[in-house]
């Protein structure tokens, strides 16, 4: 008779016994807990700071559409000044799908409505494993400086991705609709 290994037994237990999200970190299993995102929208403080350069703190996500307010703290007075917003594309439905599913993007915007940073934070593509990570070559950087008044057209304002046209167009549509919704709600005209 074959011996059942501990990982197999653990997997069986996790699949057959309902474990709440709060209990999972208490299991102290190194191969399970790193999979947990910092929060439901895959953001971390490091990612938020990357998409809003100069920000040193962020509010909790709130509002409609939900945003993280980005603040810069004055070193002398300690006073916080609002410098922009960070937000994720899934918060403005409907979220366009790429070739194999949604492409979640974290976007940073200044108070004038210009994109100051952008990171693709989650996507799943079948071609990712055969042709490489196609969002790594500079796709994200070409959105910086655009605002809600741009059309975000792949092949015009945005360069496409060879063998990933559906995903590039879906990402651009999701970014465009989210930037327009946040601009409409938070940026004074």
The tens-digit pLDDT sequence of the chain (189 residues) is: 444 445 444 444 444 444 444 444 444 443 333 333 334 667 899 999 999 999 999 999 999 999 999 999 999 999 999 999 999 999 999 888 777 778 899 999 999 999 999 998 887 765 545 444 556 667 888 999 999 999 888 877 777 665 557 888 888 999 999 999 999 999 975
Can you tell me the distance from the alpha carbon of 1 to that of 114, in angstroms, rounded to the nearest whole number? 65
Domain that holds residue 119: 45-186
In a shared domain, residues 19 and 88: no
Polymer length in residues for the chain: 189
For residue 75, give Cα distances in angstroms to 54, 69, 72, 81, 176.
13, 19, 9, 11, 35
Residue 151, token pair as written in the block? 């059309």
Residue 182 sits at φ, ψ, to 5 deg, of: -70, -40
On whether residue 118 sits in a domain, the answer given is: yes
CB 104 within 8 A of CB 88: yes
On whether residue 156 sits in a domain, the answer given is: yes
């Amino acid at each position: 008779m074959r011996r059942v290994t501990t990982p197999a037994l653990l997997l069986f237990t996790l699949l057959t016994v309902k474990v709440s999200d709060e209990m999972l970190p208490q299991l102290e299993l190194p191969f399970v807990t790193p999979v947990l995102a910092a929060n439901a929208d895959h953001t971390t403080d490091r990612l938020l700071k990357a998409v809003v350069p100069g920000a040193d703190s962020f509010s909790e996500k709130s509002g409609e559409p939900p945003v993280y307010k980005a603040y810069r703290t004055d070193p002398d007075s300690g006073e916080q000044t609002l410098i922009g917003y960070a937000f994720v594309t899934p918060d403005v439905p409907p979220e366009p799908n790429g070739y194999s599913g949604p492409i979640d993007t974290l976007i940073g915007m200044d108070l004038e409505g210009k994109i100051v940073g952008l990171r693709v934070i989650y996507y799943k593509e079948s071609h990712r494993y055969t042709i490489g990570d196609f969002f790594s070559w500079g796709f994200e950087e070409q959105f910086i400086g655009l605002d809600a008044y741009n059309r975000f057209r792949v092949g015009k304002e945005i360069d496409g991705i060879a063998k990933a046209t559906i995903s590039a167009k879906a990402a651009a549509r999701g970014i465009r609709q989210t930037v327009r919704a946040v601009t409409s709600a938070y940026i004074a005209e």
